[in-house]
Amino acid sequence: MKANVYEKIYAGLLGMDAGMRLGAPVENIYWTYDRLREYYGDIRGYLRTPRTMTADDDVNGPIIFLRGLTDNGTIHGLTPEMVGEAWLNYARRGMGMFWWGGEDLSTEHRAYMNLKRGVKAPRSGSAELNGLVPSEQIGGQIFVDTWGLIWPGDPHKAAEYAAKAASVSHDGNGVYGGAFMAACVAAAFEAETVDQVLDAGLREIPEDCDYAKAVRAVRAFHKEHPDDFRACRDYVEKTFPNPLGYHIVPNAAICILAMLYGGGDLGRSIEISVMCGFDTDCNASNIGTILGVLGGIEGVPERYRRPINDTVVLSSVSGYLNVVDLPSYAKELLETACLLRGEPLPAEIRMPPRGEIYYDFDLPGALHGLEMDDWSSHNLRHTDKEAHTGRGCAELMIDGKNPCGADLFFKSMYVRADLNEERYEPVFTPRVSPGQTVSAWMTFAPVAPGKLAVTPFLTRAMTGEWLDFPEQEIPAGEWTEVAFTVPGVGGDEIHDIGWHIDLRLDDPPWAWDKVFIDDISVTGGVDYTVDFSIQRKEFGQVTPFSFNDGEGELENESLVFTMGSDPLSLGSQAFTGNYYLRDTVAEAEAEILEGESAMLILRGQGTRRYYALGFAGKGRAAILRYDGGECEELASLPFYWHRDRIYTLRAEAKGEELALYVNGGKLLTARDGRLAYGMAGLGQDTPGVSRWKEFRLRGSY
């Protein structure tokens, strides 16, 4: 694997997100080509810059649906059915992930419901089943960027995998577009020009298909008229019809147009693509990935990179997976690429265990989502001139007339107030929890005599309370570890993890100093409580849970969980906690109000893969395993529970041993090794209503 692959993967991710953020505000039908030109004119930066922007389908799909490969062993190959299973497993039905615009309008909605009804991929996306026009909409190419990122320099394999993935929801030119775009991403790792990238993409699709004809036509027009992208845009509209507004062929033509007239420059190309209209966020996202890889990190303009701050917020069923640190995710993609090639991960890449946080600042410019409270007195940037380990660190510059402190922090989870909007309905669970150890290494380079004091802190998500830890003095020029163990927070969640950095000069009033921060980590098992009396209803869910095929309401300091009657629902779930928990204990007080089910979930890997332990039928307790849409009973026995009576349920998973306790007594055990890790939560296997009080979770990786 070439040395720069890691950086190019990262640049591709930055480009993908930048394109999505630029195009998303104007993707709807009201922003016509003429209206865009009249109102925004010559676009040269983000149209709107929210504090934190939630991803739409153009970023949700590429990151989450890749798990159809990685959840199944990576090296065992890929089938459309594996990707279809990822659709079902990670999407909350009717919420988030992609556009739920109705089966007659949204190709993805139709494909999902086909899968839900038992239609296997690739038939789920076939023109025979869905019609040619819907099956050739743009969705075939907007979820495929990561297939190119995991096959660097191998356009053929990237196209092969992307075509299988695209066939879950699309057919014909819809699949060809997926193959083309992924091949372009893979080719960009070694190409030097846009033309070389396009040539590689064309080699992977039929020469006589409409998609290939559009690519060649735009290239020919550009050759004859190289200086007027708007003339080419007019040509595209006249030459390639756009039924429903989102057909893949005319949008592909816009992608080619933008890359050519943008001269391969990422910023200018995504700007041109958005000015051309049609599906603005999809087109800008695809070409952002291609040109991010082609130009590398230095080719990602700071005006687009800085607002991203290395953070992407997704909308899957896992609140833990929904907060993505791009440098860390780039490592995961590199690891996947190495596995596929049978190569070891490069020695300089430091991978933490899954479920832990590790920010090493090795990538140029990377800040891992670090934020600062006061930009008027201080500045935060990446530097490669200092490091505790590796190739760089974060540099905090303190500047002010009087010595003044700075608060440096990162998000453990997001709440509604953190976001300007909630497109695609994200949900969150904390990435940092009581019981874990937070560590950071710091030093400083004083200009004038003085001391540096660091006070770690955390904030609570629901109450907003601030909790300080003991102050620690940092010696000048000497890397020092600042560490603390996260205590219980009274049933709340951790919102921010941070450090108050206080410069104390011997001779004020002027303050100027540089503080260096490196190797931030969060390690260890979790041990905490969720108190429903202080939780909130946000994003249509109850914090910190993510619901599927069920609804949650807060009532009388409890969570009321309802599963409706729907023949397509195979159980209902409310997930929370770290996605990679292994040995786990979950406990809560449960009361069945209607129906016959109240269960605790362990090792939940999505809506189709988890263990459920508890009451599962009238006069019955059971341990169930859900996997691939099938439910298997691992153990059961008669237990005559009574409606409206409160029971303390405890579920344990240790190695392959599963156990259910009721009111402190062990009731059931089973042994199963199918699911080794996953989230915890609440569930029902049949329609009904259950009430839950104070959920407690303890677990390790």
Using DSSP bridges, classify how beta strands 537-538 and 378-383 pair: parallel, antiparallel or unpaired.
Answer: unpaired
DSSP codes joined into one string, 606-665:
ETTEEEEEEEESTTEEEEEEEETTEEEEEEEEE----TT--EEEEEEEETTEEEEEETTE
- pLDDT bin (cut points 50, 70, 90) of residue 343 is very high
Segment 539-545 mean pLDDT: 95
E strand map for 403-493:
406-411, 437-446, 450-460, 466-468, 472-474, 480-485
Q: Is 45 helix (H, G, I), strand (E, B) or coil?
A: coil
- pLDDT bin (cut points 50, 70, 90) of residue 252 is very high
> Where does the chain hold its CATH 2.60.120.260 domain(s)?
357-524
Count, residues in the chain: 701
Query: Smallest Cα–Cα separation from 404: which of 383, 381, 375?
Result: 375
Q: Is 44 helix (H, G, I), strand (E, B) or coil?
A: coil
- pLDDT bin (cut points 50, 70, 90) of residue 403 is low
In 3-state terms, the chain is what percent helix, strand and coil (to 5)? 30, 30, 40
Query: Smallest Cα–Cα separation from 188: which of 35, 441, 11?
Result: 11
Segment 469-474 mean pLDDT: 96
Distance CA 615, CA 561 (A): 14
Q: How far is CA 225 from CA 231, 256, 260, 609, in A?
A: 8, 14, 11, 54
Distance CA 357, CA 300 (A): 25
Segment 528-542 mean pLDDT: 96
User: Cα-flanking dihedrals φ and ψ of residue 449, to 5°?
Assistant: -60, 140
Distance CA 628, CA 626 (A): 7
Token digits of residue 555: 């009532």
Q: Tens digit of pLDDT for each residue in 174-186?
A: 999 999 999 999 9
- Whether the pLDDT of residue 588 is over 90: the answer is yes
Topology given in CATH for the domain delimited by 5-313: ADP-ribosylglycohydrolase fold (1.10.4080)
> Where does the chain hold its CATH 2.60.120.560 domain(s)?
545-699
- pLDDT bin (cut points 50, 70, 90) of residue 400 is low
Give me the residue label for tokens 């934190």. 52
Distance CA 524, CA 488 (A): 14
- Name the H helices within 225-299: 229-239, 248-261, 266-275, 280-295
Percent of the chain with pLDDT over 90: 89
- Name the H helices within 311-413: 326-341
Q: By CB neighbour count within 10 A (0-12 exposed, 13-18 middle, 19+ buried), where does 353 fall?
A: exposed
> Where does the chain hold its CATH 1.10.4080.10 domain(s)?
5-313
- Whether the pLDDT of residue 511 is over 70: the answer is no
Distance CA 621, CA 590 (A): 13
Segment 310-321 mean pLDDT: 96
pLDDT of residue 563: 96
Match domain 357-524 to its CATH number in 2.60.120.260, 3.90.1150.10, 3.40.190.10, 1.20.1440.230. Answer: 2.60.120.260
- Dihedral, 21, 22, 25, 26 alpha carbons, nearest 10: -140
At the fourth CATH level, the homologous superfamily of domain 545-699 is Exo-inulinase; domain 1 (2.60.120.560)
Q: Tens digit of pLDDT for each residue in 113-155?
A: 999 999 999 999 999 999 999 999 999 999 999 999 999 999 9
pLDDT of residue 508: 63
SS in 3 state form for 560-607?
EEEECCCCCCCCEEEEECCCCCCCEEEEEEEEEEEECEEEEEEEEEEC
Query: Smallest Cα–Cα separation from 517: which of 407, 375, 386, 372?
Result: 386
pLDDT of residue 509: 60
- Whether the pLDDT of residue 423 is over 90: the answer is no
- pLDDT bin (cut points 50, 70, 90) of residue 242 is confident
pLDDT of residue 166: 98
Q: How far is CA 627 from CA 80, 350, 594, 604, in A?
A: 18, 32, 26, 10
Which residue type is seen at 156? H
Q: Tens digit of pLDDT for each residue in 63-89?
A: 999 999 999 999 999 999 999 999 999
Q: Is 608 helix (H, G, I), strand (E, B) or coil?
A: coil
- Dihedral, 541, 545, 546, 547 alpha carbons, nearest 10: -70
pLDDT of residue 398: 84
Distance CA 164, CA 144 (A): 10
Average pLDDT over the chain, rounded to whole?
95
